Amino acid sequence: MSDVPSMNVDELQAALADGATSVDVTRAYLDRIAAADGELGAYLHVDPEAALARAAEMDSAGTRGTGLTGIPIALKDVVVTEGVPTTSGSKILEGWKPPYDATVAARLKAAGTVLLGKTNMDEFAMGSSTENSAYGVTRNPWDPQRIPGGSSGGSSAAVAGGLAPWAIGTDTGGSIRQPAALTGLVGHKPTYGSVSRYGLIAFSSSLDQAGPMARTVLDAALLHEAIGGYDPLDSTSIDAPLPVLAEAARRGAEGSLAGLRVGVVRELGGEGHADGYEDGVLTSFGAAVARLEAMGAEVREISCPAFDLALAAYYLIAPSEASSNLARFDGVRYGLRVGDDGARDLDEVMALTREQGFGPEVKRRIILGTYALSSGYYEAYYGQAQKVRTLISRDFSAAWDGRNGDGVDVLVSPTTPTVAFPLGARVDDPIAMYAADLCTLPASLAGVPAISVPCGLSEGLPVGFQIMAPALADDRCYRVAAALEAALTDERGDRGFLDQLAARAATTEGAA
């Protein structure tokens, strides 16, 4: 089945329902991984024998040919998997095999999916380029000299390169949407609390969400439905039914957006706020907005003044929570331990382990966060950042509610200010690296859902279009994204960029 790596998941489902075997499908991905991952570096862990054994088991299951039975998947290495190495991209967890499954992993297992492997990521999900992994960089299948985004860059490279049909990523400040945008994929950050965090290695607990990364809006919706919904094991899980997502994607693909009210966020690339945004990104974005209008949407500009402060607030809140969450890595409970032979006492074991186990970006965040939380500075930094967070939520509420009933249904922006940048270009400049998250941070801080869908190419590289919606209205993101995707797919006859994406995923002689 040589065309498998270019197939969407709904096509794989049809093939499996038609009698294809999961073993053949899985083998096609494993072959592609063997051919291309040496260059891409998308995976940290692949166990071909285990994957094929699981595929064979699914081929003889009673559910064969239905649902997600036998469909392969890749998981970001921040998702805890029972008996399967899980490092979160850090040396400090090298060799750790978790004794349990994250809820996301357990649900995917119960649905019959086949785990292809665990994908590379910035250490503890801190980064925007996947250059902060302790295990080496991941490359962008569109241009191996460029970054695949981050922190879920292993997942984005795997799916864009045809090394997995879809993957799970996590998004704290943009880590699903930004890598999806930079590799031409669909990536959705669910409403905070609507996908369980149980078994995700915590970075910033008030922001972390797992979500789907896929080649189409429908695939992303199918994956979201498989992992989402209430989980008593997560204390912040929302006890409400998940909106119907795949159906929203199918409806959206029919193309009409009559009556949909769309707000273009001025602070995210609009007039007076376009510093650092590439022209090619703004042009693609503008053309996509015009398409929404052509499909019947009412478009207008909305100002969300507090969004200008999102970056500063996020880079206080996320490191503060990280400094607390990462205290658990003490050389005693998990993974690496340094100083067994010769350390004076337990404190020294902890210090040596953390010194050698954490990379520079993680240390930077722990120091920043510890400082921001320290007495005397708490109010000036962490307290202020929390107030900004409230202002950002209010900007969203004002956009939805409007004055006199003139609110909007969704807010839109580019997903990232630039296309994928060259490897190494920002490693020595943390502020430039953090700027990659400018557009994704507001939705993270407010906990609202946001999707990135490809909207074109700039200089041959993918551009992402972000759609944000009110909390629990994830279905709206999928509906609008599917409409835009359908409008662009019509260009396939002209070899539109979606075709290029499919062709790229099917290239078997490596990624170049």
Contact set with ligand GLN (CB under 6 A): 125-128, 151, 171-175, 203, 318, 437
- Residue 331 or 369 having the CB closest to ligand GLN: 369
Q: In angstroms, what is the minimal distance from the CB of 109 to ligand GLN?
A: 24
- Edge-to-edge strands, sheet with 43-46: 43-46, 114-119, 72-76, 166-171, 209-214, 186-189, 450-458, 461-468, 410-414, 261-265, 298-302
436-449 as b/e: b if 16+ CB within 10 A: bbbbbbbbbbbbbb
Sequence-distant (6+) residues with CB within 8 A of 103 are 196, 198, 199, 227, 231, 233, 234
- Residue 322 or 498 having the CB closest to ligand GLN: 322
C-alpha 45/C-alpha 96 separation (Å) is 12
Question: Helices 153-160 and 497-506: crossing angle, nearest 10°?
Answer: 90
- Residue 437 or 474 having the CB closest to ligand GLN: 437
- Residue 120 or 175 having the CB closest to ligand GLN: 175
- Residue 174 or 447 having the CB closest to ligand GLN: 174
Amino acid of residue 381? Y
C-alpha 305/C-alpha 273 separation (Å) is 11
* DSSP string of 349-371, one letter each residue: HHHHHHHHHS-HHHHHHHHHHHH
- The residues assigned a catalytic role are 76, 151, 175
Sequence-distant (6+) residues with CB within 8 A of 215 are 8, 9, 159, 160, 165, 166, 185, 186, 501, 502, 505
Sequence-distant (6+) residues with CB within 8 A of 185 are 156, 159, 160, 179, 213, 214, 215, 452, 454
- Residue 308 or 348 having the CB closest to ligand GLN: 308
Q: In angstroms, what is the minimal distance from the CB of 203 to ligand GLN?
A: 6
C-alpha 219/C-alpha 217 separation (Å) is 5
Q: In angstroms, what is the minimal distance from the CB of 125 to ligand GLN?
A: 4
Q: In angstroms, what is the minimal distance from the CB of 173 to ligand GLN?
A: 3
Residue nearest to ligand GLN (CB): 175
Q: Locate tokens 């402060």: which residue? A: 309
